[in-house]
Amino acid sequence: MKFFIDTANLNDIREAQDLGVLDGVTTNPSLMAKEGITGKEGVFRHYKAICDIVDGDVSAEVIATTFDEMVREGEELAEIDDKIVVKVPMIREGIKAINYFSEKGIKTNCTLVFSAGQALLAAKAGATYVSPFVGRLDDVSVDGVALIEQIVTIYRNYGYATQVLAASIRHPMHIIQCAELGADVMTGPLSAITALFNHPLTDIGLAKFLADHKKAGTK
Ligand code: E4P
């Protein structure tokens, strides 16, 4: 399973990269705004800064919502760095744009996916990644992990190359459940990734090993 971090915060990206388990980054307009990144120049510079830190794919989302504008914006984003994946919303114009990018060999991430039917359209259009939002479905009392299972099953049935990117991951159990189901990638905040480290028996066990070692050394 590939681990992507879902943030535009350079410190969090550096920290995840330093752990040695990071495979990529996803961003969205809200995450960019949270970091105070504004204006085309500023946004493009920030994407370049992210690409310079991470060794893997970096999703950069288009703001445009019409085919022509998405194509223009996506092509410009793709020019920033080879690592850029053009993130396109799951709307009619978006599916057309994904099809266009796919024919041009530009990587895409179909975002804001909340149903298996939408995921099927993304795969047929040739998306590199499809992003079902697990946490946001859970927020409205719909089982987000169940959607991952449905999409993985459908993609396996037909051998679609589109990678299932479990997005809107909120906590370690989401990661484990999506991994059990065979999601190709997960994206979540640094806190969800680092929470995977935690187990009280590890802490207790290490404390005992170190204490025993110290005791033996003093004999
Ligand atoms: C997907 O790539 C989105 O950026 C993201 O995962 C949304 O997550 P949220 O629901 O925590 O905002």
From ligand 1's centre to the CA of 219, what distance in Å?
Answer: 55
pLDDT given at position 217: 84
Ligand 1 binding site (Cβ under 6 Å of any ligand atom): 6, 26, 28, 111, 131, 133, 135-136, 167-168, 187
Is the Cβ–Cβ distance between 111 and 128 less than 8 Å? no
Residue 189 CA: nearest ligand 1 atom is 11
What is the amino acid identity at position 218? T
Instruction: Point out the ligand 1 atom lying closest to the alpha carbon of residue 27.
Output: 4
Atom of ligand 1 nearest to the CA of 87: 2
- What is d(CA 75, CA 86) in angstroms, rounded to the nearest whole number? 8
Q: Could you tell me the pTM of the whole model? A: 0.96
88 Cα to the center of ligand 1, angstroms: 13
Q: Phi first, then psi: give them for residue 64, nearest 5 degrees.
A: -60, 155
Q: Atom 8 in ligand 1: which residue has the minimum CA distance?
A: 168
Whole-angstrom distance, CA of residue 174 vs CA of residue 85: 24
What is the mean pLDDT for each group of 10 consecutive residues in the chain (219 residues)?
A: 98 97 98 96 98 97 98 98 98 98 98 98 98 98 98 98 98 98 98 97 98 88
Query: DSSP assignment of 48-111, as one string?
Result: HHHHHH-SSEEEEE----SHHHHHHHHHHHHHH-TTEEEEEESSHHHHHHHHHHHHHT--EEEE
What is the distance in A from the centroid of ligand 1 to the CA of 144?
13
Q: In 3D, which of 189, 193, 169 has the Cα closest to residue 181?
A: 169
pLDDT at 219: 66
Q: What pLDDT is stored for residue 202 in this prediction?
A: 98
Residues involved in catalysis:
87
Q: Can you tell me the distance from the alpha carbon of 108 to that of 59, in angstroms, rounded to the nearest whole number?
A: 8
Distance (Å) from CA 169 to ligand 1 centroid = 7
